[in-house]
Amino acid sequence: MATGLRGVLDRLHPLFAKGGKLEKYYAVYEMVDTFFYSPPDVTRGAPHVRDGIDLKRTMIYVWLATFPAIAVGCWNVGYQANLGMQALDIAQLDDWRQVFLHYVGYSPDNWFACFVHGFTYWAPIYFVTFLVGGLWEVLFAGVRNHEINEGFFVTSILFSLILPPTVPLWQVALGVSFGVVIGKEIFGGTGKNFLNPALVGRAFLYFAYPAQHSGDAVWTAVDGFTGATPLALAAQGGVDAVQAGGFTWMQTFLGNIPGSVGEVSTAAILLGGAFLVYTRIASYRIILGMFIGMLVSVYVFQWLGPADNPYFQVPWYWHLTLGSFAFGAVFMATDPVSAAHTNAGRWIFGGLCGFMTVLVRVVNPAFPEGVMLAILFSNIFAPLIDYCVIKANIRRRKSRLAAV
């Protein structure tokens, strides 16, 4: 007889199985069971076995790949806040975290204090995201009598990392609700959505509540202190404005800049991306395609763009580290559900993401970012891209057969 947690779950199973008193809550039982143990319904023989990996391990790998970005992001949020606190008087601090740190020490040189300070901002965001989004997952799973899919495990962590540290928690709940329900569940759940749910929720918040998701004040977790991001400075005056603001390219690469929690450090993001490519969770074709699309677009706009618009002249290596380009390329564009599925289509899809990012950034003065809209736009065209690639392959095969 099984003992420990396995034994407890086995004894509870009849209550949640069909005909049990708690049958309607089987999705909750199944979620807990498969969280701790591998599901029993796995394919064991040919011809269906392609790899030993399952959905749970895929989600865990993506979750682990975000750890470097989380660590640097939490430290940077605390670092930027501690810098802001130095410029303010104690009477101006009305947040319990800042008042506490004011007395125990809030030096930006203390990396541990910076990390703890930043973590106290990101952790509530993630908790609300996981709780509210998880409740929606349980609700839809219960209504459909389906198992709770592990896909939300990744959606929740990614959504929490693309938000400003000052975002109100009620907006976090509203945004993740919109992303899960409108971006995924109404289409049938995980595997059937054609848009990235995390980006759908982020786009909703950005356009519904722009005051809390744009502007200088939202990026530093200290009331009364504002600081423009390097991306905003680049949109106003190009690289010269970024450097005049006190930012170097290395700072934007390492993540010592104002910005969203998990998007600031290109180095940490690329470290996680290398892990995902090595484990074959993320497609290197999409990542490289997005980089190539960005690279080509930058040179084209530098050649065609007006000389009086400094954003047209921003080099590609600044576009790589500014804003959320790296995070979008590694974690968002590579979503296996909403991205293209054919090998050739993935190159085209990535290239479209990179091109649209630069196009929105340099042409639309009201939206200096562009990555979010570029990926959502490309998500819409992903099925068409795959269709065209498959039809082209069929035509080539027919022509070879006709030649024989």
Q: Which residue has the higher pLDDT, 88 or 60?
A: 60
CA distance 322 to 82: 22
Confidence tier at 45 by pLDDT (50, 70, 90): very low
Amino acid 127: pLDDT: 95
Give the closest residue to 375 by CA, choosing from 343, 337, 318.
Answer: 337
128 close to 134: Cβ distance less than 8 angstroms: no
| pTM (predicted TM-score) | 0.84
**Mean pLDDT, the chain, whole residue set:** 83
For the ranges 49-53, 63-67, 335-339, the lowest mean pLDDT is seen at 49-53
Confidence tier at 246 by pLDDT (50, 70, 90): confident
Query: How confident is the model over 66-102, as pLDDT tens digits?
Result: 999 999 999 999 888 877 776 655 555 566 666 666 6
Query: How confident is the model over 103-160, as pLDDT tens digits?
Result: 556 677 778 888 988 898 999 999 999 999 988 888 887 777 776 666 778 889 999 9
Give the closest residue to 230 by CA, choosing from 369, 123, 129.
Answer: 369
* Widest distance between CA atoms in the chain: 85
Q: Give the highest mean pLDDT range of 142-146, 333-337, 380-384.
A: 380-384
Alpha-carbon torsion, ordered 264, 265, 268, 270, to 10 deg: 90
CA distance 160 to 119: 12
